[in-house]
């Protein structure tokens, strides 16, 4: 199967009727990926379960997550350079290992992206309740549900007007949240170090594996949330068809997003660890509160707490915006290729964004979020959806690392780079498999039913449904499952 003449040579030219060409620079693409990774909001909702699981070694967990993620990020960069596509993992696996493998990978990818989107409004709505509480309005499930709907309406209003507005809105929110959270962290660190509550030795302990509550096992258990925080860099690849010179700049944007946001987490986590004992963080979360808001109240007073809650709500809305952009492009790519319902490939006139794919993602997000909130509680629904999302993320990353080797061996053998197309993906495969075994098989099995085994079963069901979907497509649309399928070729090049 030789794809170079049609995809690699045409990837930088977007035909009329496809996604809007040259809508952003590589800086914009990197910012969108960074926003999904969420410099500040990652701490809002990943800090709490990470510290509750492993104690004060949160900075160590975030550092390990960067190391775990980086080889896969480099594989994304390598494939984006050779074959830029809005379909990212779906397109790459299809070109590397055949249509059936590609459709299955696309099924996993879309499950991962939709769940990553489902994570967001439920957490944002907790801060919406915080805001209402601070102004004296009683809160509960109903007000939380209103928060979920409000965020979704804002996302739809912005994203349906085009990628330009989506990018501007998310960047503004990200800058505000990052500045405010960094200022809070600095305040905590200065206050606690000046009164002797947090010393240089304590900083060192945050990177000491032996200081973890529960030892090594708890580090692997907490790594689930560290990896969930890193989810987002992969979304940069879905913007290839809307970015200037994607082969050159999408790889740069991918790696920059991982390193810049990861460094922010490691540094700011040190300050947040200094604020409260682990027991207090757990107690606040158990009462349905948000520890970051409680920290703001202690160190900045009531006005500071309100500011943090407002900024958190708006910043998580920004991540929701960015994730909806990424998830809709993945659905769009499969609809365009004929391996998902054709209506998903229809673009909104004028804005040239995949409106139907966006709508489907938003509807599913609202329904599943409200259901999980009713079944598991508004403060706990995040843990379930985040764990399943990161499980599917790791399977997607495994497929991308394999595709990096297979695609370059089969289709670009003369340009095979031993390090980028050999060493990097092999390391990525080994790391991902190790983490899957230690954090997602062993740890989740021992985590009980609600947030452990039920997630594993849900992942297995999703994979079985993916196999069924491959069989359905093969039976109902055999023409798009041929390696040289004209429909696939026309669909993939029409968007470039």
The three-state DSSP-derived secondary structure of 176-210 is HHHHHHHHHHHHHHHHHHHCCCCCHHHHHHCCCHH
Least confident segment among 237-241, 261-265, 464-468: 237-241
Mean pLDDT of 271-295: 79
For residue 18, the model assigns a pLDDT of 52
CB-based contacts of 142: which residues, under 8 Å, 6+ apart? none
* Number of other CB atoms surrounding residue 34 within 10 Å: 26
Most confident of 102-116, 383-397, 450-464: 102-116
Q: Encode pLDDT of 358-392 as tens digits.
A: 899 999 999 999 998 888 877 777 778 888 888 89
**pLDDT above 90 covers what percent of the chain?**
15
CATH of 4-494, one of 1.10.10.60, 1.25.40.10, 1.10.486.10, 1.20.1740.10: 1.20.1740.10
Q: Read off the DSSP letter of residue 243.
A: B
What tens digit of pLDDT does each residue of 58-73 get?
889 888 888 888 898 8
Q: Does the structure show a pLDDT above 80 at 245? A: no
The Cα-based distances of 34 to 115, 174, 322, 349, 466 in angstroms read 18, 9, 9, 28, 29
Q: Among 22-26, 82-86, 235-239, where is mean pLDDT lowest?
A: 22-26
Provide mean pLDDT across the span 459-479: 92
For the cut 70, the answer to whether the pLDDT of residue 351 exceeds it is: no
- Given a cut of 80, is residue 147 above it in pLDDT? yes
Residue 348, pLDDT above cutoff 60: yes
pLDDT confidence of residue 143: 93
Residue 297 pLDDT class (50, 70, 90 cuts): confident
- Helix orientation angle between 26-37 and 163-194, rounded to the nearest 10 degrees: 50
| 292 and 312 Cβ atoms separated by less than 8 Å | yes
Q: What would the mean pLDDT of 444-472 be, rounded to a whole number?
A: 85
- What is the distance, to the nearest Å, from the Cα of residue 329 to the centroid of all Cα atoms in its chain? 14
pLDDT of residue 461: 94
In the predicted model, what is the mean pLDDT of residues 77-103? 86
Overall average pLDDT of the 424-444 stretch: 83
pLDDT tier at 10, thresholds 50, 70, 90: very low
Q: What is the mean pLDDT of residues 174-185?
A: 81
Looking at 274-422, list the stretches that DSSP marks H as alpha helix, in order from N- to C-terminal side: 278-286, 291-337, 355-376, 381-411, 418
Residue 185 pLDDT exceeds 90? no
Question: What average pLDDT does the structure give for the chain?
Answer: 79
Q: Report the pLDDT value the prediction gives residue 77, as an integer from 0 to 100.
A: 85
Question: Please, which pLDDT band fits residue 340 given cuts at 50, 70 and 90?
Answer: confident
* Mean pLDDT score, 280-287: 76
To which residue do tokens 């200037």 refer?
A: 244
């Amino acid at each position: 199967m030789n794809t170079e003449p049609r995809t690699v040579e045409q990837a930088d030219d977007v035909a009329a009727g496809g996604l809007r060409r040259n809508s952003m620079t590589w800086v914009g693409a990197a910012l969108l990926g960074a926003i999904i990774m969420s410099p500040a909001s990652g701490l809002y909702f990943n800090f709490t379960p990470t510290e509750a699981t492993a104690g004060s070694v949160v900075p160590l967990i975030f550092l390990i997550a960067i190391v775990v993620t980086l080889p896969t990020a480099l594989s994304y960069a390598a494939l984006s350079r050779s074959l830029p596509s809005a379909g990212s993992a779906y397109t790459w696996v299809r070109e590397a290992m055949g249509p059936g493998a590609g459709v299955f990978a696309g099924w996993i990818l879309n499950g991962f992206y939709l769940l990553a989107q489902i994570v967001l409004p439920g957490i944002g709505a907790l801060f919406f309740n915080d805001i209402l509480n601070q102004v004296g309005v009683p809160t509960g499930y109903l007000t939380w549900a209103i928060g979920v709907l409000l965020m979704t309406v804002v996302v739809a209003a912005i994203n349906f007007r085009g990628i330009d507005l989506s990018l501007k809105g998310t960047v503004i929110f990200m800058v505000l949240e990052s500045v405010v959270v960094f200022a809070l962290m600095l305040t905590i660190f200065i206050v606690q170090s000046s009164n002797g509550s947090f010393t240089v030795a304590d900083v060192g302990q945050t990177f000491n594996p032996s200081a973890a509550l529960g030892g090594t096992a708890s580090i692997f258990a907490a790594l689930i949330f560290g990896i969930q925080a890193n989810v987002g860099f992969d979304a940069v690849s879905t913007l290839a068809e809307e970015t200037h010179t994607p082969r050159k700049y999408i790889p740069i944007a991918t790696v920059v997003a991982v390193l810049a946001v990861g460094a922010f987490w490691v540094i700011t986590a040190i300050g947040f660890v200094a604020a409260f004992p682990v027991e207090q963080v757990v107690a606040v979360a158990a009462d349905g509160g948000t520890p970051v808001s409680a920290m703001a109240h202690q160190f900045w007073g009531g006005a500071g707490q309100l500011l943090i809650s407002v900024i958190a709500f708006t910043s998580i809305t920004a991540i929701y915006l960015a994730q909806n952009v990424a998830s809709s492009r993945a659905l769009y790519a499969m609809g365009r290729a004929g391996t998902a319902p054709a209506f998903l490939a229809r673009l909104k006139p004028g804005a040239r964004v995949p409106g139907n794919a966006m709508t489907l993602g938003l509807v599913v997000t609202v329904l599943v979020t409200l259901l999980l909130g009713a079944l598991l509680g508004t403060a706990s629904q995040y843990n379930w959806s985040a764990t399943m999302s990161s499980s599917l993320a790791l399977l997607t990353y495994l497929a991308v690392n394999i595709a990096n080797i297979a695609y370059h061996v089969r289709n670009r053998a003369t340009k095979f780079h031993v390090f980028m197309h050999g060493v990097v993906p092999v390391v990525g495969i080994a790391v991902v498999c190790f983490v899957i075994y230690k954090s997602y098989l062993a740890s989740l099995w021992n985590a009980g039913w609600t947030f452990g085994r039920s997630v594993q079963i849900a992942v297995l069901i999703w994979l079985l449904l993916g196999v069924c979907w491959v069989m359905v497509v093969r039976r109902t649309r055999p023409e798009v499952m041929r390696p040289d399928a004209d429909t696939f070729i026309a669909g993939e090049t029409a968007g470039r």
